[in-house]
Amino acid sequence: MASLALPFPKLLVISRSNSQNKPTIKFWAKTRYLNSSKIPSWRLGPAYAKNLQCGVIRMQAGEEDYELKQMRDVAAAKKRWDALIREGKVKVLTPREAGYAVQLSNKPLLDVRPSTEREKAWVKGSTWIPIFDVDSKFDVGALSRKLTNFVMGGWWSGMPTLSYDSQFLSKVEEKFSKDTDLIVACQKGLRSLAACELLYNSGYRNLFWVQGGLEAAEEEELAREGPQSLKFAGIGGVSEFLGWTDQQRAAAAKEGWGYRLLFSARLVGVFLVADALILGAQQVGRYLQEIRLAILCIVMPKTPVISKYLALTPGGKLPIKAMEGLSQSKLNSCSSK
């Protein structure tokens, strides 16, 4: 199955709690912890250093247990989803078949994508109820998740931090009765399959899943509305800006060199801006260093550090041209000492 975001996939798992007969949503993201058992060369006592190393080893063991549990949960979720399709509890439709069903049979299409994808493109006449949406909270936990998501690939893929909408089922029940023939779709097909499981467990029996998601639909297969193609609704970030996504590569193969030149020019522009920033940072660093030395010379002109610096400069003088903000007479006096 396709991942939720590239290049670092996130996996959605739906499990049932033993204590309550309610679905539990877990939105996993692969997190990196401290992966080295070597203790830095701090000046610590032997007992403290030993305890610290034991703590690192326990953290590694905890990370391994977490990853094993995550793998088991993901495998269990895939088995449940495969069983839903294999047993016919959820029917499979291609994007073309879904388009025919919507246009000819007036079957409702439930769009469960987040707002960032929905606002770019959507199927005409579809109903939007996201199972996950952009996390708008700003508490400590939310900020930590957003930072982790950004560092782990959000800057590249443009995928924001998402949170489960606990009102998803109630919103669907308000809109559709449980005997409705309901077509469920998302961008890539994974979240819509998870939504189908939730809906089936809540009593919906006429569910249809769009295989591959809206991204797999050709332009003529679904009546589209919005500023972009359905294929491009799930991309973003730096990868979209540079044209380094599978969808854009496929479009470039069809459009020709004109499409490719646009992103090639953007890539060249990124390199030029990066070079300019590096050179600018070097110049600013040199300028600040000269100002610092000039101030030290004025305050402590006879210290060994200043004397050594003056001995290494041509003529034993400071670079006065970089010190326009300082008194010229003080600099001349400092250089003559």
pLDDT tens digits, residue range 298-333?
Answer: 665 555 555 555 555 555 555 544 444 444 444 455
Q: Residues of the chain with pLDDT > 90: what percent?
A: 30
Comparing 286 with 253, the larger pLDDT belongs to: 286
Domain ranges (residues) in the chain: 10-255, 268-336
**Alpha carbon of 2 to those of 125, 193, 233, 239: distances in Å?**
26, 12, 15, 17
Return d(Cα 237, Cα 8) in angstroms, integer.
Answer: 13
Question: What confidence tier does 296 reach under pLDDT thresholds 50, 70, 90?
Answer: low
C-beta of residue 237 within 8 angstroms of C-beta of residue 158: yes
Question: Regarding beta strands 132-134 and 162-164, do their DSSP bridges make them parallel or antiparallel, or are they unpaired?
Answer: antiparallel
Choose the weakest-confidence range: 58-72, 126-140, 152-166, 305-319: 305-319
Chain mean position to CA 321: 47
Q: Which residue has the higher pLDDT, 23 or 148?
A: 148
Return the bridge partners of 11, or none: 28
Catalytic residue among 186, 196, 297, 334: 186
CATH number of this structure's domain 10-255? 3.40.250.10
Q: What pLDDT is recorded for position 209?
A: 96
Instruction: Name which residue leads in pLDDT, 279 or 310.
Output: 279
198 within 8 A of 230, measured Cβ to Cβ: no
Is-contact 92 86, C-beta < 8 A?
A: no
Q: For the segment 8-18, what is each residue's pLDDT rounded down to a tens digit?
A: 334 444 444 44
* % of the chain with per-residue pLDDT over 70: 67
186 is catalytic: yes
Q: What is the pLDDT of residues 206-229, one digit of tens each?
A: 999 999 999 999 888 999 999 888
Specify the pLDDT at position 261.
Answer: 75
**Residue listed under structure tokens 């991204």:** 215
pTM comes to 0.60
User: Nearest 5°: CA angle at 266, between 265 and 272?
Assistant: 90
What pLDDT sits at residue 234? 84
Report how far apart, in Å, the C-alpha atoms of 59 and of each of 28, 33, 151 are: 19, 8, 21
Least confident of 45-54, 137-146, 220-229: 45-54
